[in-house]
């Protein structure tokens, strides 16, 4: 090998190796955002991609992700992270912030969304997508849910949304409409135009619309069939922004509803399109991985290639479905810093991956000297108000989470420990109290004590280990000598469709409560680990 060849090889290798020392793979794996990541919307600004999801009553709300390659995503902030912006108090877990749309126009980022149960449609803006985001601009005149924005060549901003139909011709009929949004007056103006009821004459829940102006034609992409098994993406074309829109013959352009109940990926729909700086088209969409038809990870975000044949987007040409692995976009490979397995609670703020449930009205934790101190408050996670709970997304069917906690009490009402949370009526807790450790299951609002073990010392290690549909809780005075508490438990407790578990997703984390009485006590957490197993 000549010196020149060696030099070229080394330069080539350096190009292939990014700054984390990983070589760029040929393929990527789906989902690109595992775990609770429903209703994705995406936009590109130059070489940068931004993606948002719905979060219902989790706080902070509406995560903003950034990527350079459409595969590696870094959480950079949240659109709703100040309690004054939005109040989720009193809302069931399936309400709150629904499907957002993110767009960039004229130097400003826009996220438009609906807070169902707390003010309905609104938009927030930011010059930096990591935040701060503005207070919500409420649009009380905008009916329905799932708003989207599009700026047309005339410089006007168009709002597209879905709303109900008064005299329904078939069950669950809804309508997609558009109207001009005057950004100076911050309200919808002019006439409202009905665009479509969906592509089929029994289309249910036409929703999640996005409007694109591509090669002089208007493309309206929406979802039909509801966000479960019958979910599908359809497209509709028009020469004029206000219609008439003609359904594409290829509809639905993407669905898994014809693949059968036992196909491991259900509910594909609710998508958004993006064109790369190199001209490729890609789409993000939601889907539900299932085990034996049971969905414990809720709706996740997937990526699929799109090629246009004329005006028609063809999703994953030759396959027509979402793939678990495929060739990655033609973009430089830029991995992002992964969340460390062990959160040592260093620094003075929690990592962005942590959420509480419903808007906090007071501060309930502190971080100091590498310790997370959780205040015991009278609120409980079974109610519809914020309690002292902090969770992060469960992203894998097989995972392990553990913590080291110091907690001592002389009062029978005080408890603290670890939790797997889906809704106020569906969760597990492994809690330490005055005299013991207790494993509690709350399923469809009914609480059962699974196991109780006398436990005295102040320090305790608590662990959950999930294997598909089962979870084993354990405890001990050292990580090396943990003992199981109770039998293996079923994760059906946090699965979709069980009681009030719908739309939102599951989390794992820490919790402390004084069960209705005032308290000055704290539970102190040294670290928290989460990893795929
Ligand atoms: C959302 C709707 C949907 O607003 O589910 O899957 C609703 N699509 O578009 C709640 O996420």
Who contacts 488 (Cβ-Cβ below 8 Å, separation ≥6)? 470, 471, 472
With CA atoms as reference, report the closest residue to 48 among 466, 388, 332: 332
What burial letters (b/e) apply to 505-533, b meaning 16+ CB within 10 Å?
bbbbbbbbbbbeeebebbbbbbbbbbeee
Determine the Cα–Cα distance for residues 413 and 429; give it in Å rounded to an integer. 15
- Can you spell out the DSSP letters for 87-98? --TT--TT-EE-
Active site residue 87: no
Whether omega before 31 lies within 30 degrees of 0, making that bond cis, reads yes
Distance, CA of 410 to chain centre: 39
Determine the Cα–Cα distance for residues 448 and 439; give it in Å rounded to an integer. 9
* pLDDT beyond 90 at 14: no
Which atom of ligand 1 is nearest the CA belonging to 99? 4
Q: pLDDT tens-digit profile of 19-34?
A: 455 689 999 999 999 9
Name residues contacting ligand 1 (CB within 6 A): 38-39, 54, 98-99, 145-146, 207-208, 223, 227, 269-270, 286, 503
* For range 298-307, the mean pLDDT: 98
Q: Name the catalytic one among 69, 146, 207, 414.
A: 207
| Residue corresponding to tokens 């809780």 | 473
* For range 81-96, the mean pLDDT: 98
- pLDDT on residue 74: 98
Residue 486 Cα to ligand 1 midpoint, Å, equals 37
Is this prediction's pTM over 0.85?
yes
Q: What is the 3-state secondary structure (H, E, C) of 288-327?
A: EECECCECCCCCEEEEEEEEEECCEEEECCCCCCCCCEEE
* pLDDT beyond 50 at 1: no
The rounded percent of the chain whose pLDDT value lies above 70 is 96
Active site residue 207: yes
Q: How confident is the model at residue 532 (pLDDT cuts 50, 70, 90)?
A: very high
Nearest CA to ligand 1 atom 10: 98
| Residue corresponding to tokens 């670290």 | 527
The two three-digit tokens of residue 473, written as one number: 């809780």
Q: How confident is the model at residue 16 (pLDDT cuts 50, 70, 90)?
A: very low
- Which residue of 92, 99, 224 sits with most ligand 1 atoms within 8 Å of its CB, as the best mutation to test the pocket? 99
CA-based angle 391:396:400, to the nearest 5?
65
Q: Where are the domains of the chain?
A: 27-327, 342-532
- Which residue of 145, 175, 222, 272 sits with most ligand 1 atoms within 8 Å of its CB, as the best mutation to test the pocket? 145
* For range 79-92, the mean pLDDT: 98
Is 2.115.10.20 the CATH classification of the domain at 27-327?
Answer: yes
- pLDDT on residue 22: 64
- pLDDT on residue 178: 98
Q: pLDDT tens-digit profile of 357-376?
A: 999 999 999 999 999 999 99
Backbone angles phi, psi at 465, to 5 degrees: -130, 115
Q: Rounded mean pLDDT of the chain? A: 96
- pLDDT on residue 23: 86
* pLDDT beyond 70 at 262: yes
- pLDDT on residue 51: 99
Nearest CA to ligand 1 atom 9: 208
Q: How confident is the model at residue 8 (pLDDT cuts 50, 70, 90)?
A: very low
Determine the Cα–Cα distance for residues 461 and 474; give it in Å rounded to an integer. 8
Which atom of ligand 1 is nearest the CA belonging to 98? 4
- Which residue of 96, 116, 270, 496 sits with most ligand 1 atoms within 8 Å of its CB, as the best mutation to test the pocket? 270
Q: pLDDT tens-digit profile of 115-132?
A: 999 999 999 999 999 999
Q: Count CB neighbours of 1 within 10 A.
A: 7
Q: pLDDT tens-digit profile of 479-528?
A: 999 999 999 999 999 999 999 999 999 999 999 999 999 999 999 999 99
- pLDDT on residue 15: 47
CATH number given to 342-532 = 2.60.120.200
CA-based angle 175:176:179, to the nearest 5?
125
């Amino acid at each position: 090998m000549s010196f020149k060849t060696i030099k070229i090889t080394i330069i080539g290798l350096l190009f292939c190796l990014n700054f984390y020392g990983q070589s760029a793979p040929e393929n990527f794996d789906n989902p690109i955002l595992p775990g609770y990541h429903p209703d994705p919307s995406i936009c590109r600004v130059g070489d940068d991609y931004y993606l948002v999801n719905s979060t219902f009553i989790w706080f902070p709300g509406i995560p903003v992700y950034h990527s350079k390659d459409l595969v590696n995503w870094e959480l950079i902030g949240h659109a709703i992270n100040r309690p004054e912006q939005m109040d989720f108090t009193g809302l069931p877990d399936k309400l709150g912030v629904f499907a957002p749309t993110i767009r960039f126009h004229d130097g400003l980022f826009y996220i438009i969304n609906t807070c169902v149960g707390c003010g309905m449609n609104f938009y927030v803006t930011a010059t930096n997508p990591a935040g701060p985001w503005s207070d919500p601009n409420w649009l009380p005149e905008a009916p329905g849910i799932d708003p989207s924005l599009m700026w047309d060549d005339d410089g006007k901003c168009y709002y597209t949304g879905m709303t109900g139909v008064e005299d329904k011709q078939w069950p669950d009929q809804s309508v997609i409409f558009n109207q001009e949004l005057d950004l100076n007056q911050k309200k919808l103006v002019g006439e409202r135009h009905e665009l479509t009821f969906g592509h089929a004459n029994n289309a249910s829940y036409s929703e999640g619309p996005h409007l694109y102006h591509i090669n002089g034609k208007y493309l309206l992409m929406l979802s039909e069939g509801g966000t479960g098994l019958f979910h599908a993406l359809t497209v509709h074309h028009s020469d004029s922004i206000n219609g008439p829109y003609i359904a594409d013959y290829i509809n639905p352009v993407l669905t898994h509803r014809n693949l059968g109940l036992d196909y491991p990926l259900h509910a594909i729909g609710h998508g958004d399109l993006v064109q790369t700086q190199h001209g490729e088209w890609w789409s993000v969409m939601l889907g539900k991985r299932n085990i034996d038809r049971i969905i414990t990870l809720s709706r996740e975000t997937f990526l699929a290639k799109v090629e246009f044949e004329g005006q028609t987007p063809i999703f994953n040409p030759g396959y027509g479905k979402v793939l678990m692995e495929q060739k990655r976009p033609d973009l430089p490979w830029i991995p992002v810093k992964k969340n460390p397995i062990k959160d040592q609670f260093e620094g003075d703020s929690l990592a962005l991956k942590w959420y509480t449930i419903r808007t906090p009205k007071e501060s309930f934790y502190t971080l100091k000297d590498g310790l997370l101190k959780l205040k015991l408050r009278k609120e409980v996670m079974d109610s519809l108000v914020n309690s002292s709970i902090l969770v992060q997304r469960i992203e894998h069917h097989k995972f392990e989470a553990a913590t080291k906690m110091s907690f001592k009490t002389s009062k029978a009402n005080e408890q603290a420990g670890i939790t797997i949370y889906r809704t106020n009526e569906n969760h597990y807790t492994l809690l330490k109290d005055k005299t013991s450790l207790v494993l509690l299951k709350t399923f469809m609002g009914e609480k059962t004590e699974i196991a109780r073990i006398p436990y005295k010392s102040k320090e305790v290690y608590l662990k959950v280990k999930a294997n598909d549909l089962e979870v084993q809780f354990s405890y001990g005075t050292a990580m090396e000598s943990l003992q199981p508490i109770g039998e293996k438990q079923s994760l059906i407790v946090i699965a979709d469709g069980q009681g009030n578990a719908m739309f939102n997703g599951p989390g794992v984390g820490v919790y402390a409560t004084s069960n209705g009485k005032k308290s000055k006590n704290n539970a102190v957490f040294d670290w928290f680990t989460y990893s795929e197993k």
